[in-house]
Structures are given as C-alpha cells and as structure tokens.
Chains A and B, each alone.
Chain A
Amino acid sequence: MAAPAHPTTPPAVGDMAPPLSLPTIGGGHYRLEDHRERPVLVSFLRHAG
C-alpha cells in the first residue's frame, strides 16, 4: 500500500488543529470545525484490523 505523500510535522500543543473532514463508517460525514462546543479527542488508529 502506498504511503501518504509528504507527511507534515505533527501539530504541537497550542497550534490550530489541522482540518478534519471525513466520511463516517455509519454513512454520515464529520467535520471537526462543526464540533467546537466541547473538547474533542481525535484518535488516529495505527491499524484497525
């Protein structure tokens, strides 16, 4: 499987969160910027098998 091209440096504490807008497994769509009323844990899984 091809790796994603040119990963950037991970954001540090105090940085603005990078964009996150993706489809959900349930068929919906999630945009992080629409969820500002509470802090959000964003967890990227290493592998999910």
Chain B
Amino acid sequence: MKVLDRRTRIEAAGGEAVFVVYDEPERLRRGILRDLDPVFPILLDPDRRAYAEWGLARASIAQVWLDPKVWRSYARMLLREGQRPARMGKDTLQLGGDFVVGVDGRLMYSRPQERDDRPAVGVLLKVLEEARGA
C-alpha cells in the first residue's frame, strides 16, 4: 500500500480518499494495516456489492498469477525494499480499481484493474489537483 499514508499530499492536492476492502477487519489489522494508523476511511464491503456496482470483476488465474509483472514486482519488493509481500487476502482473484470523483459526482478518473497493477500515487495526486481546480 503506497497511498494510505499519503494524507498530507492528498490533502495538499485538495482532495480526500477512501479505501474499500472486502476482507475481515481482523485480517486487515494483521495485513496491510499492521504498521499503519489509517488516516482515511476504510470501508467494509464483505459481500462485495460495491465492487460489483463499480464494475470490478474477478480475474482469471492467468491474469493474476501467470503475469510476469506480478512476479517482478514481488521480487523488487523483496530485493530492493526488503519487504515481504503482504499476507494474501481471501480471494486473490478479486480485482480492485482507482477512481476520482469530482465535486459534481462525476468520474474524473477511472482505472479498474486488469491484473495486479495500480497507478502511481503521483498520477492520482495529479488527477486530484486537476479535479480540485475543475
């Protein structure tokens, strides 16, 4: 997770952020939240109704686990950053996505995942800045 602790930059960009998860709170606390005091709302969607309403499907095994980019990413984490990949969630095929909603309720940015990839934090901050000024 590269954006949960980016409160200052997100607020400086004039925006706010929420994170939607479907795993149980206890699993979250043992996983991605174990070293973080979340400063943004963490929304719980255990039946993944919101995931479905936002069009976020499940991937195939090949999309996620046979993608060399996934393994390169994990290797980088291990070798360069000394991090072990976080404990897996209960459905490793569920895809996520990043969206920026403008003050009029319309999407300013839409980036549903197609595999285990996410936009750079800098990209999201730039969209938030532009949305603030729109």
Contact = CB atoms under 8 A, between A and B. Distances in A.
Contacts of B49: 4
Given A11-B110, A39-B108, A4 B47 contact: yes
Contact of A41 (B15, B25, B38, B87): B15
B17 A43 contact: yes
Contacts, number: 198
B81 interface: no
A43 B20 contact: yes
Contact of B20 (A4, A7, A15, A44): A44
Contacts of A16: 105-107
Given A47-B92, A48-B27, A25 B107 contact: no
Contacts of B23: 47-49
B31 A48 contact: yes
A32 to B, nearest CB: 7
B51 A10 contact: no
Contacts of B38: 25
Nearest to A14: B106
A39 B131 contact: yes
A16 B18 CA distance: 17
A4 B50 CA distance: 9
Interface string B30-57: 1110000010011111011111111111
B75 interface: no
B76 interface: no
Interface in A1-28: 1, 3-20, 22-26, 28
Contact of A23 (B43, B88, B92, B110): B43
Contacts of B104: 36
A49 B107 contact: no
